[in-house]
Amino acid sequence: MFFYLIRRLIYAVPIALAVGFVCFMLVQIAPGDPINAIVPPDAPQDVVDQVRRDYGLDKPLPVQFGIWLLKVVQGDLGRSLATGRPVWSDLQSAIGNTLTLAASASLLGFMLGCVLGGLAGTFRGSILDRAAVTIAVAGVSVPHYWLGMVLVVIFSVQLNMLPAMGAGPGGSADWAWDWEHMQHLVLPSITLAVIPMGIVTRTVRGIVAEIMNQEFVVALRGKGLTGWGVFLHVVKNAAPNVLAVLGLQLGYLMGGSILVETVFSWPGTGLLLNSAIFQRDLPVLQGTILVLSLFFVALNLLVDLVQTALDPRIKRA
């Protein structure tokens, strides 16, 4: 296990570097000369050259990548072209908000998915099973940004029960765990939770059905265990795989919340990305995507390690 941990950590390094390279290349594939975003179009040529040297844009690409990487490692993601503030400072509060949203959505989706999938897997072929499968298919097929709009129409426009926008009263971006703030979390979380709910339902249903077919379940029943006792054994067997799915879903939601954040004006990384795209603020775009992807890489690593530690059937050396 210890050697596996070391090996897995070492393997994550080239992946992280490659992710950094892709993020670096994002700015390079963008059309137009990045210098045009900094200097006005009517600037004299010597000023343009001066700025180009100051920003290191006259150096060859590999050297630029090296310099960029060194800065990133030190936590310097550059400055926003639109606001002039360091990208990292804007990102910090945004990441917290996105994490709040993604975590509550994954938790909600996870719980619903486990219940639905567990019931469907246990009572294979029943009406319950069919209902769960239908809900799961709908969950993965629904355009969630549209579901968000529908929820806003029902709960904000028609019933006037829940706020439609922002993360707090008066559009404040500071988060607190009171009802004033939490009511803003309800609709975005439900919207974002439908995807993990669908996927977790499918996964749990498959895993539970497979376990129920194994001989040890028959043995447990033969031994005299009923309902609850068998259930605990099934949970113990299903847990490692289900937890792995949950971890990955949290990562997907962190990266995939951009559409939902746009619908609800949730002040997270998605909204930051959205405005960066519109202002063609490439440093913010690059920094946000880099941080979110590295988070995803780290989460993948963690899931792998936890799964290995939890499941004695997986032998990795």
Interaction site with another protein (CB under 8 A): 14-16, 18-19, 22-23, 26-27, 29-31, 137-138, 140-143, 145-147, 149-150, 152-153, 157-158, 251-252, 254-256, 258-259, 262-263, 273-274, 276-278, 280, 282, 285, 289, 292-293, 296-297, 300
- Contact (CB, 8 A) for 298 and 290: no
Closer to another protein by CB, 114 or 254: give it.
254
Q: Shortest distance, CB of residue 137 to another protein, whole angstroms?
A: 6
Closer to another protein by CB, 102 or 114: give it.
102
Q: Shortest distance, CB of residue 184 to another protein, whole angstroms?
A: 17
Q: Shortest distance, CB of residue 195 to another protein, whole angstroms?
A: 10
Q: Shortest distance, CB of residue 146 to another protein, whole angstroms?
A: 3
Q: Shortest distance, CB of residue 215 to another protein, whole angstroms?
A: 22
- Contact (CB, 8 A) for 260 and 192: yes
Closer to another protein by CB, 147 or 185: give it.
147
Which of 168, 22, 188, 16 has the alpha carbon at shortest distance from 99? Answer: 188
Q: Shortest distance, CB of residue 263 to another protein, whole angstroms?
A: 8
Q: What's the CA dihedral at 204, 112, 174, 157 to 10 degrees? A: 140
Cα 187 to Cα 203: distance, rounded to the nearest angstrom: 25
Cα 220 to Cα 134: distance, rounded to the nearest angstrom: 31
Closer to another protein by CB, 136 or 230: give it.
136
Q: Token pair 């917290």 is at which residue? A: 96
Closer to another protein by CB, 47 or 277: give it.
277
- Contact (CB, 8 A) for 115 and 165: no
Q: Shortest distance, CB of residue 44 to another protein, whole angstroms?
A: 28
Closer to another protein by CB, 52 or 280: give it.
280
Closer to another protein by CB, 230 or 254: give it.
254
Closer to another protein by CB, 164 or 208: give it.
164
Alpha carbon 31 to chain centroid distance?
28
Q: Shortest distance, CB of residue 159 to another protein, whole angstroms?
A: 12
- Contact (CB, 8 A) for 265 and 149: no
Q: Shortest distance, CB of residue 213 to another protein, whole angstroms?
A: 15
Cα 124 to Cα 205: distance, rounded to the nearest angstrom: 9
**Burial category of 75 from C-beta neighbours within 10 Å (exposed 0-12, middle 13-18, buried 19 and up):** exposed
CB atoms within 10 A of CB 209: 17
Closer to another protein by CB, 230 or 253: give it.
253
Q: Which long-range contacts (CB under 8 A, 24 or more apart) does 237-241 make?
A: 237/211, 238/204, 238/207, 238/208, 238/211, 239/310, 240/307, 240/310, 240/311, 240/314, 241/203, 241/207, 241/307, 241/311
Q: Helix H segments across 56-86? A: 61-73
